Amino acid sequence: MAKKPKIAILWLSACAGCDEAIVDLNESLLKTLEPVDIVLWPVAMDYKYSHIHALNDKEILLSVISGAIRNSEQEELAHLLAKKSKMIFAFGTCACYGGSAGLANFCSKEEIMNWVYKDAPTVVNPSGQIPQPKTRINENIELTLPEFYEQVYALDQIIDVDFYLPGCPPPPDLIINAVQHFLSGDLPPKGSKLASRTALCEVCPRNHTKPPRLEIKEIKRVHEYEADPDRCFLAQGILCLGPMTRSGCGETCISVNTPCRGCFGPLPGVLDAGAKGISMLACILKAGQSRNPKKLMNSLVDPAGYFYRFTQPVSILNQKWRRSND
Amino acid sequence: MSAYQPKIVCFSCNFGWGYLSNKSELMQKIQNWIPITCTAKIDPLFIFQAFAKGADGVLILACPETQCHYEDGEFRTEKMVLLLQNVIEAFGIQRERVQIMFARDPEGHDISNLVERMRNKINALGPLPKDIKGKGEYTYGQKA
Ligand code: SF4
Ligand code: SF4
């Protein structure tokens, strides 16, 4: 009997929602995964990293990796799978763009450590201890912990990625579609995102209620205002990232009367979600006759967090650390 | 310490600024001057890329209120700048590093002075932090 292709499924800095999305395939999961051998899936199976080390290089057909990278253990595992796999699949928005975990990049490591281990009101830490990568217990024993990095990285900032599937988490139809592509060998070009190339607005059931010229005079926030369940959010003055977000999510947020937050990431060709968001909103925010736009522009609470909710690590300004010393 | 010379990128609208000047001569004099047909054409991306490529400040010279060739381009740009200033602050970049001015200067006599004035202001702020908010140079992996 021909050997089944090997697949690894791994979470890094993830919430497990992406793993859950795979489990949620239910019966079709069994069918989908029937033709493969799973060699690693921490959320569902017992395994040892030594088993992976023991494999030949490129012996794994496909590694499905969810989550961003924040510490040295995650980076080490990503490199290990890159070495052992023919293809790397960045699964879910955290792996593709850094995801919501990437918002932590708006704080420094020091600020995070101080808050979590010292300053948060629920913390009791009289000696002010902060976890260290190495702690000497006695002459013979030194304990180690993975190193917490200065920032969160998207997967392709650490290893080469062959395919991407955004989504927080990716929806079942796109997961099954991706698996079928991998198993049949009928693959799009390397670097492809295995998702739609159109904006969410194009498939949104509320799109026909959008006026030809959008103008927002006052930003309304979802928790302050009861949204009309059938009208375009932007037409109601509630911010929605549908115009600049890739579709494919199944309009799940829209269908529960919640505006799009952009989890599928920006459209193809967009280099920076924030830049797109700024141009989009600067156009439609209408600042009255007085021509004093300051108040309206400042009424957008936490604009950086809003525009980069899922993509901070891959934003241009965050990547300034790559800048050479010229 | 005076070795630090802030790099300023200056965008100006072709309808209000320097259209009667000898542009190529003026360009020799003013480094990183980018005349553009309507400042509303400036994508926020251009400003981010300017910072990423080493600019310390971005100056936008737009037309005076109500004098935009396209009705309200200068106003759209102003709104964009206000939003963008709020965004860059979250990345540890002071809002003063992006400035917009509304005036007209067909001969382009003032452009180099305005750039110089901006340079002095940015000089007082110091260089743009290379490692924003203490993010160190990335060394552990091979991919950086
Ligand atoms: S993409 Fe969403 S569901 Fe997946 S790990 Fe990240 S936060 Fe969780
Ligand atoms: S802006 Fe939002 S609510 Fe309006 S059509 Fe687009 S996705 Fe739908």
| A210 neighbors A232 (Cβ within 8 angstroms) | yes
pLDDT at B117: 97
**Cβ pair A316:B144 closer than 8 A:** no
Any ligand 2 atom below 6 A from CB of A204 = yes
H or E element, residue B46: helix B44-52
User: How many helices (H) and strands (E) would you count in chain B?
Assistant: 4, 4
Reported pTM: 0.92
Of all ligands present, the nearest one to the C-alpha of A233 is 2
**In A162-288, where does DSSP find H-type helix?**
172-184, 200-203, 252-255, 273-284
Distances (CA, A) of A156 to A162, A191, A316, B107: 9, 10, 15, 49
Residues of chain B in contact with residue A318, where contact means CB-CB under 8 angstroms, are: 91, 132, 135
pLDDT at A239: 96
SS3 (DSSP) at A285: strand
In eight-state DSSP terms, residue A118 is I
| A32 neighbors A5 (Cβ within 8 angstroms) | no
A277: pLDDT strictly greater than 90 = yes
A39: pLDDT strictly greater than 60 = yes
**% of chain A with per-residue pLDDT over 70:** 96
| Phi and psi at residue A93, to the nearest 5° | -65, -35
The three-point CA angle A214-A218-A222 to 5° equals 95
Span A59-76, average pLDDT: 96
CB of B20 less than 8 A from some CB of A? no
What value does the mean pLDDT of chain A take? 93
Cα–Cα dist A183/B36, whole Å: 51
Of all ligands present, the nearest one to the C-alpha of A169 is 1
**Cβ pair B83:A79 closer than 8 A:** no
**Annotated domain spans of chain A:** 6-100+152-184, 112-149, 200-325
pLDDT at A289: 60
A86: pLDDT strictly greater than 90 = yes
Residues of chain A in contact with residue B95, where contact means CB-CB under 8 angstroms, are: none
Q: Which residues contact A305 (CB under 8 A, 6 or more apart)?
A: A103, A106, B90
Atom 5, ligand 2: residue with shortest CA distance: A207
Give pLDDT tens digits for B46-91: 999 999 888 999 999 999 998 999 988 999 999 999 999 999 999 9
**In chain A, where does DSSP find H-type helix?**
17-23, 27-33, 49-54, 72-84, 93-97, 109-114, 172-184, 200-203, 252-255, 273-284, 294-298, 303-307
At B134, the pLDDT band (50, 70, 90 cuts) reads very low
- State the greatest distance between any 2 C-alpha atoms of chain B, in Å, as a whole number: 54
| Phi and psi at residue A263, to the nearest 5° | -70, -25
Any ligand 1 atom below 6 A from CB of A13 = no
Give pLDDT tens digits for A92-119: 999 999 999 999 999 989 999 999 999 9
Instruction: Report which residue type is found at B72.
Output: D
Residues of chain A in contact with residue B136, where contact means CB-CB under 8 angstroms, are: 150, 321
Q: DSSP for A192-217?
A: -BSS--SBHHHH-TTGGGS-SS--BS
Q: Which of A11, A19, A24, A66 to mutate to test the pocket of ligand 1 (most atoms within 8 A of CB)?
A: A66
Q: What's the distance, CA A137 to chain centroid?
A: 38
Identify the residue whose tokens are 């899922």.
Answer: A310
Cα–Cα dist B144/B140, whole Å: 9
Distances (CA, A) of A65 to A33, A47, A96, A133, B4: 16, 16, 10, 25, 44
pLDDT at A229: 96
CB of B64 less than 8 A from some CB of A? no
How would CATH label the architecture of A6-100+152-184?
Answer: 3-Layer(aba) Sandwich (3.40)
Span A16-36, average pLDDT: 90
Span A306-317, average pLDDT: 96
Q: In DSSP terms, which residues pair with B13 in a beta bridge?
A: B36
At A322, the pLDDT band (50, 70, 90 cuts) reads very low
Span B91-96, average pLDDT: 93
**Cβ pair A293:B75 closer than 8 A:** yes
**Cβ pair A279:B82 closer than 8 A:** no
**Cβ pair A151:B44 closer than 8 A:** no
Residues of chain B in contact with residue A216, where contact means CB-CB under 8 angstroms, are: none
* Lowest mean per-residue pLDDT among A8-17, A180-189, A190-199, A205-214: A180-189
Residue A205, preceding peptide bond in cis (omega within 30° of 0): no
B133: pLDDT strictly greater than 70 = no
| Phi and psi at residue A310, to the nearest 5° | -120, 0
B36: pLDDT strictly greater than 50 = yes
For testing the chain B interface, which of A317, A321, A325 should be mutated: the one with the most B CBs within 10 Å?
A: A317
* Lowest mean per-residue pLDDT among A76-85, A181-190, A232-241: A181-190
pLDDT at A33: 82
| B74 neighbors B42 (Cβ within 8 angstroms) | no
Radius of gyration of chain A (CA): 22
